[in-house]
Structure 1
Amino acid sequence: MSKLNAALIQHRCSSDLTSNLEKSLTLIQQAAQQGAKLIVLQELHRSLYFCQQENTDYFDLAETIPGPSTDTLGSIAQQLGIVIVASLFEKRATGVYHNTAVVIDTDGAIAGKYRKMHIPDDPGFYEKFYFTPGDLGFTPIKTSIGTLGVLVCWDQWFPEAARLMAMAGAQMLIYPTAIGWDPRDDKAEQERQRQAWITIQRSHAIANGIPVLSVNRVGHEANPNSTEAGIDFWGTSFATGPQGEILAQANQSDETITLVELDLLRSENIRRIWPYFRDRRIDAYHDLNKILRD
């Protein structure tokens, strides 16, 4: 397959899990009707972003994989003949939970999953309380439409993760995301943060010569702790080509389907012209294994 039509779905979430999933399913159907064969959902699309505070009750949101959500998504993937990348709160065992992206192939079966490797722990993003770091490594997932390098949100700031996925044969990088502003930051700082987020992912496309798909949520989500400001998710779901060129981009506020046509053969041509993999000096990179230099 040389050309691939993909759809990036960004939307608001509420405390109603059923309503959130139904919204995702409706947008999936609309995207498929518009010709999308790969559909990517945002991070933790079934619920509000519950990591704004540490609360053991939120572990009740977790589910097994396979489980109810993968059964539902598998059914619609098979019905429409599409591949879906979904982001779920995985219950692996009692007391062991992961932030997991799961890939559903066109036959409705689970093609593979990726457990988020880099887990943040910052004000409003207390993910270390909920998620055990991933143990599946940076392994691309083979599907009927191509080999997908799926990562999750905070992973997108680490060039090592992107490089390892690309080296293992990923034809594209995919980042389900939940990132936004602290409403108390001024507008200039907010825009610096958003542009940094776009720039780092464009750089992964350039450094590895493959497309990048990044899908974020939108809307304000209040912090249950009323003394905190909550998060304004900034949307801006986007896709780049292998030189970091923006192919499609959503706005910062609307629930939307962003369609993009990917030329998968273009990566071959770009890598011939920009042979970063050929000129890597792996003999001189040993210090990357150190925590910090003295």
Structure 2
Amino acid sequence: MTDSNLLKVAIGQYPCTPEPSINLATAEDYIARAGAAGARLVLLPELHNTPYFCQREDPAVFDYAEAIPGPSTERLAAAAKAAGVVVIASLFERRAPGLYHNTAVVLDADGKLAGRYRKMHIPDDPEYYEKYYFTPGDLGFEPIDTSIGRLGVLVCWDQWYPEAARLMALAGAELLIYPSAIGWDDATDDGAEQARQLAAWQGVQRGHAIANHLPVITSNRVGVEGEAGTEIRFWGHSFVYGPQGETLAEAGDKAELLQAELDLHRTETLRRIWPFFRDRRIDAFDDLTRRYRD
């Protein structure tokens, strides 16, 4: 193993305020701190420029959206270049009038826009009314090439779909990356249910790491957001898993700059001794493209 196989990564886990300018300054601060600590990749939470506005349906909220490239990508690109890190940032993209996406952008260490991923799976659940705001992504499950490797970037609700992780892996992704915004409803979720939800969230992503022999990097926000009676308590617990699902780093439920070091060579080693890709029965998987087998 050589040092070129090692990659230090960081996650910015923090609360988001109602003021976008403050949130963007917070993102810049975390990027600078991560770069100073030696990280080469920084992941920010989902929709970090704003409060989590999908708790209600309000046409005025579309004013938060912006073009990509645009003002936020310009500032984040400058921060990425100054720190010498690759940044994954999650933004509310205004593509055209009436056409909006939940989009993760990848800014390379030289400040250039390496690519974007538009969230494919859009939830519509109590207090997560994302279908009102976001058009499903149309860029597919394509890794983004950067100076540190091929990044399989997905977004939050995509976490629950092993097909998405597998397609990224089959396209050559070297890491699976999920900016997220997920939490509890204190009014309806008791302690036991909260524990089950957190364990499920972590467990499904640990499975993605194991089944594809890829590290998984997942961010979350923290803090309580929303109006009385419909608040979401974002539970934090951002994490980095290794390619056997081992926990390399995990945050608590407070603001934190989480860091971990990955050995990228382990994917090759593991796939030689556990050749899941070799043994896939692709001749028998046609039904995966059906909604359900009646």
TM-score (norm 1): 0.98
2:212 to 208, 214, 218: 208
1:107 is paired with a residue of what secondary structure?
A: coil
Structure 1 stretches of 4+ moved >3 Å: none
Whole-angstrom CA distance in 2 between matches of 1:28 and 1:111: 17
1:231 and 2:232 are equivalent in the alignment: yes
Whole-angstrom CA distance in 2 between matches of 1:56 and 1:263: 46
Q: Which residue of 2 aligns with 1:83?
A: 86
How do 1:1-294 and structure 2 match up within 5 A?
Answer: 1-184=4-187, 185-223=189-227, 226=228, 228-252=229-253, 254-294=254-294
Whole-angstrom CA distance in 1 between matches of 2:63 and 2:80: 26
Aligned residue pairs, count: 290
**Is the contact made by 2:31 and 2:80 (CA closer than 8 Å) also made in structure 1?**
no
Amino acid at match of 2:75: T
Amino acid at match of 2:115: G
Query: Shift in Å at residue 106 of structure 1?
Result: 1.1
Name the Cα RMSD after superposition.
0.7
Report percent identity of matched pairs.
59
Whole-angstrom CA distance in 2 between matches of 1:72 and 1:229: 33
- Stretches of structure 1 that go unaligned for 5 or more consecutive residues are none
**Is the contact made by 2:31 and 2:83 (CA closer than 8 Å) also made in structure 1?**
no
TM-score (norm 2): 0.98
2:17 is paired with a residue of what secondary structure?
A: coil
Whole-angstrom CA distance in 2 between matches of 1:230 and 1:81: 37
Whole-angstrom CA distance in 2 between matches of 1:210 and 1:128: 30
Whole-angstrom CA distance in 1 between matches of 2:247 and 2:273: 20
Amino acid at match of 2:185: D
Whole-angstrom CA distance in 1 between matches of 2:261 and 2:18: 33
Amino acid at match of 1:248: A
Query: Shift in Å at residue 229 of structure 1?
Result: 2.6
Amino acid at match of 2:271: R
- Stretches of structure 2 that go unaligned for 5 or more consecutive residues are none
